[in-house]
């Protein structure tokens, strides 16, 4: 399909979203809740662009992570209107999570220094990456959203039941702000059981039968290090990406965010987090 992106003519295969096409063309569109290994969600709205369909007079503001490329589509990702709306969204985000370094950095990058409304002071930005990775990739369904509206939050059932969590750390891995940490209660519980401690990679299905001898300090675990080094990312995510059919060409790019495991990471937060690809 032929379409126009920021004035230049481009091509894209069927079923491609505007965001995917833009990334392939090297155009940077910020997207908070989008992830290669996950179905597009469209919640953060930061990936908005202006599109004009062939034959239509007016352009619309749409979320590029979900909008499919069509023949003759015109896309503009950096108009004044988009820039203003993006700043508006980032201001709302900053109002929600004023303390998060990630949010502050992202907002500053687009010219937003402070919010004109009160802060909720919640590091969780409700991007849904943790819930979605748990449901789609790990398939444990250990955490989910509860309530709705401004009360919406990420929770395990009844707030206390972690029984489905296998302590794989994928949620912590994908969380941009560090708001979710692998359930310490869960880890503690697993530790406190006498008897077998299955390795979390066994639970994920990578190893047939391994028992954790390090009391769930996965950062010290050789298996963990080896699997991550090989995959370049969290192993569960790497497997999900590899399982995708016609996208074998897409590999997680270098500079991918490292894991933030149960151990407080000494890895500096000064290095800019590359959100594109993982």
Q: Which residues bind another protein (CB under 8 A)?
A: 42-46, 48, 61-63, 66-68, 85, 88-89, 92-93, 95-96, 116-118, 120, 125-126, 128, 141-152, 155-158, 161, 163-164, 166, 190, 193, 198, 202-205
Beta strand 74-76 with 2-5: parallel, antiparallel or unpaired? parallel
CB of 267 to another protein, least distance (A): 28
**For residue 19, which phi and psi values (nearest 5 degrees)?**
-65, -45
Between residues 61 and 242, which has the closer beta carbon with respect to another protein?
Answer: 61
Between residues 91 and 224, which has the closer beta carbon with respect to another protein?
Answer: 91
CB of 22 to another protein, least distance (A): 16
CB of 214 to another protein, least distance (A): 18
227 and 259 Cβ atoms separated by less than 8 Å:
no
36 and 241 Cβ atoms separated by less than 8 Å:
yes
Contacts of 151 (CB under 8 A, 6+ apart): none
29 and 19 Cβ atoms separated by less than 8 Å:
yes
Residue 2 token pair: 């032929």
CB of 119 to another protein, least distance (A): 11
Between residues 1 and 95, which has the closer beta carbon with respect to another protein?
Answer: 95
Between residues 30 and 256, which has the closer beta carbon with respect to another protein?
Answer: 30
CB of 62 to another protein, least distance (A): 7
95 and 118 Cβ atoms separated by less than 8 Å:
yes
Between residues 42 and 256, which has the closer beta carbon with respect to another protein?
Answer: 42
CB of 36 to another protein, least distance (A): 19
Neighbours of 224 (CB within 10 A): 20
Between residues 21 and 63, which has the closer beta carbon with respect to another protein?
Answer: 63
Residue 153 token pair: 């939050």
CA–CA separation, 63 and 47 (whole Å): 6
């Amino acid at each position: 399909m032929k379409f126009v992106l920021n004035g230049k003519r481009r091509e894209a295969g069927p079923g491609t979203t505007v965001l995917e096409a833009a990334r392939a063309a090297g155009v940077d569109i910020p997207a908070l809740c989008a992830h290669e290994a996950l179905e597009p969600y469209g919640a953060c709205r930061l990936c908005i662009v202006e599109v004009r369909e062939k034959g239509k007079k007016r352009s619309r503001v749409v979320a590029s992570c979900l909008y499919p490329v069509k023949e003759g589509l015109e896309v503009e990702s950096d108009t004044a209107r988009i820039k203003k709306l993006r700043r508006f969204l980032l201001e709302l985000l900053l109002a929600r999570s004023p303390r998060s370094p990630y949010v502050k950095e992202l907002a500053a990058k687009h010219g937003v220094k402070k919010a004109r409304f009160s802060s909720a002071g919640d590091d969780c930005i409700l991007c849904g990456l943790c819930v979605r990775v748990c449901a789609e990739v790990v398939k444990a369904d250990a955490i989910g959203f509860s309530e709705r509206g401004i009360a919406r939050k990420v929770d395990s059932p009844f707030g206390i039941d972690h029984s489905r969590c296998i302590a794989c750390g994928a949620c912590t891995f994908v969380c941009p702000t560090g708001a979710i940490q692998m359930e310490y209660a869960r880890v503690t519980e697993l530790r406190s059981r006498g008897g077998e401690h299955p390795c979390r990679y066994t639970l994920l299905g990578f190893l047939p039968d391994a028992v954790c001898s390090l009391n769930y300090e996965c950062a010290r675990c050789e298996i963990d290090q080896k699997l991550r080094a090989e995959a370049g990312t969290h192993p569960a995510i790497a497997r999900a990406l590899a399982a995708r059919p016609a996208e074998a060409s897409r590999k997680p790019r270098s500079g991918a965010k490292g894991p933030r495991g149960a151990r407080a990471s000494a890895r500096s937060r000064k290095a800019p987090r590359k959100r594109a690809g993982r």
